[in-house]
Amino acid sequence: MQELQQDTRRLPESVEMGSLMDALADSFTVEIEGKRSSVAAWYDTFDWRLYNHGYLLRHGDRHWHLLDRGSGETLVTSRAGTGRKRVFARDLPAGRLRALLEPVLDVRALLLLVTLQSEETRIRVLNRDRKTTVFVEFSRQQVRGTDTVLRLVRLVPVRGYDKPLRAVRAFFDEHGITGQVPLFYDFEQGLRAVGRAPGDYSSRFAIRLDPDLTARQAAITIYRHLLDTMLANEEGILRDLDTEFLHDFRVAIRRTRAGLAQMKKVLPADITATMKEEFAYLGRITGPVRDLDVYLLKERDYRARLPELLQEGLGTFFTDLAEQRRVEQKKLVRALRSPRYRQIVTTWDEYLRSDDPTPSAQGDVPVIDLARRIIRRRFKRIMKDGRAIDDSSPDEHLHRLRIQGKKLRYSLEFFRSLFPEDEVGSVIRQLKRLQNNLGDFNDLSVQQEMLARYLRGLRPGSRRNMELAAAIGGLLTNLFHEQQRVRKRFARTFSRFGSRKNVALFRKLFY
Amino acid sequence: MSVIAVYNIKGGVGKTATSVNLSYLSACQGNRTLLCDMDSQGSATYYFRIRPAKKFNTRKLLKGGKHIDRNIRGTDYPGLDLLPADFSYRNIDIALDDLKKSRQRISKILKPLREEYDHIFLDCPPNVTLLSENIFHAADRILVPLIPTTLSHLALGQLLDFLKEIGQDRGKVLVFFSMVEKRKKMHGEMMRLLRDEPGVLPCGIPFLADVEKMGIYRQPVAAMLPNSAAAESYRVLWDAICGKLERP
Ligand SMILES: Nc1ncnc2c1ncn2[C@@H]1O[C@H](COP(=O)(O)OP(=O)(O)OP(=O)(O)O)[C@@H](O)[C@H]1O
Ligand SMILES: [Mg+2]
């Protein structure tokens, strides 16, 4: 089918819809269909995964419609029940829609962004055979929960009937209805009415620092961005919408802590010290739920690691974890509603706005000098520690190196906008590879420790606990083997990171 | 993607009624659907209130490409397009005979359309002709409306023999009962006899006045009278066909 050209126009305030329809009926042979009401609910993840992927997702009339944002084409229509406020990929009807969206959504939930309630009257423009040649759709759309109303007329062409289409277009032009609106105008206006905008949140840390800033100004910019990220994720954590709100929240905490440690003398000593402590506290209260999320998200992976015989025991394990998470989530919500939390966030927020004149040791250094010094120091440290690791080094050394890697990564990300993008990008890519190896290694040991702890806590006796213990034992073995494989890959991964080319690039950028 | 030819050697068995309703139902499910009216009488075209462009004819059809694109018309139903038939199709066999690879031409001109549509229906004229041979080559499925009578059964045998003769897979053939009249004893007997044959679908379209009236209101009965028994029987038929399309 040829892509039908979109022609939707906004009715000026002065135009009365009814009289316009009458005028249309006077000028053409038409058939007016009865009024129809419909509801269009738009969904995306908090971080706009569908939008960024070129999709839009609408629910209405008990169907999902997946649309191509560029062309307006409907990619999939799929039957569904009534729309809910939160939908995971697994809640979508099995079939093409789910198959397309599952990899895009991953663990993120689709959330209801905005709902438009619309009243439509469709008029068919007919030829002498009473064949439809153009559809004219008048609609009045109300953005739910707001005063915003859109009044639109849409001309839908029928393939092969260009002449009548031109005549209908001319009719609207003559009546002063010329204001063509872009594709998905309703979606955009709806979002605007509820105070959202596509891409208004991203979990990527992306800020532009002006190279002329002082270290202090740059630090404030960075902390501001991180605090905004935390605040943006608060509601999703409290409502427990999906696991990534907490994840992003914790990453922002960790980045802030890394900043406070690395840019130690950039803010006055007392505020740095206080905030270090406060953010450590935030890390602590948010830890338990995240740890449990990590395991719960691994359910499929764990199941794949064990034979049929041990699956039942594993089921018990996950039921247990889910129960623990429920308890921990409650505690987390209480903590985030507590005065202490509000106090921390407000103090920091106010401080970042305050333009505090108290001098600090390194506040006035140009940011570029600070950036180079921090990155240089981190890099040297990694090279030294990494080179010292061989096949007989204790696991502890790899764990330490992982922390070093993380610190380097954070500082590279803080300051990447000060350096040529492709070169920093390349440095970060190399570092990522190393981090993946170290991260896997660490994850696998943390998992084993957790499982071992869980195992020790089991009371022997019941059949249920025996099966559970067997499953845990199976997992432990499997994870242990994998960890050894990961460890074997370390040497090669590190030597790539420490390649002459990569070292030269570091020197060029940061020395 | 599948090309479904609705065919029977015999005339007046409900081929056009079937093509019109099934293509409509296909489009209703969100499939991009094209109905090609291959019959010079243009009944399917008429049912959708469409007239072919003055410049369209057999020669244009056989050239394919943009000559076809230009002549496809949207119906009154979203997702359903129609390629109208022209009166000149009545001599299409002569035109085909003049071409190289005269048996694969329709297959060739449908190729680009296969990209554009999820389902293409071909409403065929009766009789065994060079055109029908072309259509057998082009189609993924040959849907045969069969009035359950002895004579119809013989005609089906002829069709299967012919397919064998031209080296086409008989497994392409799907048979369903058309214009079934409960009161007629012979209908019941023939249906019992054929029920378990391979490729025979377990459903039929009864003989119903609502289908006949399509010529008056010029819409698919499934669109005009969605709650009628006729509409329901076409829906059941379409579901059964979809089941076969998925599992060849
Ligand atoms: N199920 C039915 N019940 C009653 N009448 C029917 C039914 N199906 C088709 N008809 C009517 O029978 C006549 C022939 O049907 P149709 O045109 O669909 O058959 P056809 O096989 O396409 O014929 P032809 O071979 O002439 O193209 C039409 O008047 C049609 O309205
Ligand atoms: Mg016919």
Q: What is the mean pLDDT of residues A462-491?
A: 93
How many angstroms separate the Cα of B172 from the Cα of each of A85, A448, B137, B198, B247?
46, 57, 10, 11, 12
Nearest ligand, CA B179: 1
Q: What is the pLDDT of residues A13-30, one digit of tens each?
A: 999 999 999 999 999 999
B81 touches chain A (CB under 8 A): yes
d(CA A23, CA A175): 9
The domain that holds B158 is classified in CATH as 3.40.50.300
Domain residue ranges of chain A, discontinuous segments joined by +: 2-193, 203-365, 370-511
Look at the block and give the residue holding tokens 């590279």. Answer: A412
- Tens place of pLDDT per residue across chain B (248 aa): 899 999 999 999 999 999 999 999 999 998 999 999 999 999 999 999 999 888 999 999 999 999 999 999 999 999 999 999 999 998 899 899 888 888 999 999 999 999 999 999 999 999 889 999 999 999 999 999 999 998 888 989 999 999 999 999 999 999 999 999 989 999 999 999 998 888 999 889 999 999 999 989 999 999 999 999 999 999 999 999 999 987 54
Say how many Å lie between the CA of residue A122 and the centre of ligand 1: 32
Q: Do the bridges between strand A180-181 and strand B2-6 make them parallel or antiparallel, or are there none, so unpaired?
A: unpaired
- Nearest Cα to B73, choosing from B81, B65, B62? B81
State the pLDDT at residue B246: 73
How many angstroms separate the Cα of B207 from the Cα of each of B69, B174, B184, B211?
36, 20, 11, 8
Cβ atoms of B105 and B65 closer than 8 Å: no
Question: Which atom, in ligand 1's list, is nearest to the CA of B125?
Answer: 27
Cβ atoms of A511 and A372 closer than 8 Å: yes
The preferred substitution site among B7, B20, B40, B212 for testing ligand 1, maximizing ligand atoms within 8 Å of CB, is B212
Which option is the CATH number for A203-365: 3.40.1170.10, 1.10.15.40, 1.40.20.10, 3.30.70.2190? Answer: 1.40.20.10
Hey, what CATH topology would domain A370-511 get? CHAD domain (1.40.20)
Intrachain domains A203-365 and A370-511 with the same fold: yes
Number of domains, chain B: 1
State the pLDDT at residue B195: 87
Give residue B7's Cα distance to chain centre.
6
What does pTM read for this prediction?
0.78
State the pLDDT at residue B240: 95
ipTM (interface predicted TM): 0.85
State the pLDDT at residue A442: 94
Q: How confident is the model at residue A2 (pLDDT cuts 50, 70, 90)?
A: very low
Task: Give domain A2-193's CATH architecture.
Answer: Beta Barrel (2.40)
Q: What is the mean pLDDT of residues A356-370?
A: 93
Residues of A with a Cβ under 8 Å from any B Cβ are 1-2, 74, 76-77, 124, 129-132, 157-161
Tell me the residue ranges of DSSP E strands in B84-185.
119-123, 141-146, 173-180
Q: What is the pLDDT of residues A178-216, one digit of tens each?
A: 989 999 999 999 999 999 999 999 999 989 999 999 999
Residues with CB under 5 A from ligand 2 (ion): B 15-16, 43
Q: Do the bridges between strand A8-10 and strand A180-181 make them parallel or antiparallel, or are there none, so unpaired?
A: antiparallel
Domain with B197 in it? 2-246
Say how many Å lie between the CA of residue B43 and the centre of ligand 1: 10
Q: What is the mean pLDDT of residues A223-245?
A: 97
